[in-house]
Amino acid sequence: NAGVTQTPKFRVLKTGQSMTLLCAQDMNHEYMYWYRQDPGMGLRLIHYSVGEGTTAKGEVPDGYNVSRLKKQNFLLGLESAAPSQTSVYFCASSRQGGVSNQPQHFGDGTRLSIL
Amino acid sequence: QKEVEQDPGPLSVPEGAIVSLNCTYSNSAFQYFMWYRQYSRKGPELLMYTYSSGNKEDGRFTAQVDKSSKYISLFIRDSQPSDSATYLCAMRANTGNQFYFGTGTSLTVIP
């Protein structure tokens, strides 16, 4: 039972390069989320999905795109990486909205540096 | 002004001490309140949640919500070195899917 798995764990990119972060969950959760965590800023929601084939913008969506083609996977894409996107990215999933008996389960993060 | 304010610390206490962690918020629509624990280089894990005002206790942990003051607290009794981590508060309104997180308080419990 892996829970939420993020791939890769670390990555260094040059400005302008593109990449995709993968999040996979094996709990059959409907909701999935992408956050970024920066010092002094806390966790900020980038995009989220309430089900397969759906996506929605969060607090800081600019410069990112997402796709939820399969229920268990949620992809975060950076089309043209910028140094301001250097951060730790966390994926989370939950059965519903993430409270009560449906807490958000987080992965262990992807550490991304943009040079 | 941030939606959620949390003192980043760091906070250092001796083993066995009572720890008090706090967050304030500005949005009166927040109804769900959560505390997460995050160990170094790991993802946050849910510790406690409460709905609206009141107290909730789970073992050594007690969560309090005072909606009139827009203030939430997490108390840790008989603190242990294994409690050393960053503690994040989070909250959400009744409607919508967005959670708002505090910046986290770093806690070290010294044996």
DSSP A77-106: EESS--GGG-EEEEEEEESSSSSTT-PPEE
Q: Give residue-wise pLDDT tens across range A31-59.
A: 999 999 998 888 999 999 999 999 999 98
Interchain CB distance below 8 Å, A99 and B6: no
Q: What share of chain B has pLDDT > 90, as a percent?
A: 76
- The confidence score (pLDDT) of residue A42 equals 85
pLDDT, average across residues B56-72: 94
Cβ-Cβ contacts under 8 Å, B46 against chain A: 103-104
Segments of chain A scoring below 50 in pLDDT: 101
Cβ-Cβ contacts under 8 Å, A35 against chain B: 101
- The confidence score (pLDDT) of residue B96 equals 72
Please say whether the beta carbons of B61 and B83 come within 8 A. Answer: no
Mean pLDDT across chain A, nearest whole number?
91
Using CA atoms, how far apart are residues A6 and A91, in angstroms rounded to an integer? 7
- The confidence score (pLDDT) of residue B99 equals 85
Token duo for residue B43? 């993802």
Please say whether the beta carbons of B47 and B62 come within 8 A. Answer: no
pLDDT, average across residues B94-108: 87
Residue B83, min C-alpha distance to chain A (Å): 18
Total Cβ atoms within 10 A of residue B12: 12
Residues 28-87 of A with CB under 8 A from B: 31, 35, 40-45, 48, 50, 56, 58-59
Pick the residue of B40, B97, B101, B103 with the most A CBs within 10 A to test the interface with A by mutation: B97
Residues 40-79 of B with CB under 8 A from A: 41-46, 49, 51
Please say whether the beta carbons of B106 and B10 come within 8 A. Answer: yes
More confident residue, B99 or B62: B62
**Could you tell me which of B59, B60, B55, B54 has the C-alpha nearest to residue B76?**
B60
Token duo for residue A51? 């089900």
Mean pLDDT across chain B, nearest whole number?
92
Cβ-Cβ contacts under 8 Å, A4 against chain B: 43
- The confidence score (pLDDT) of residue A105 equals 87
Residue B64 has pLDDT above 80, yes or no: yes
- The confidence score (pLDDT) of residue A99 equals 54
More confident residue, B54 or B14: B14
Strands B11-14 and B105-110: parallel
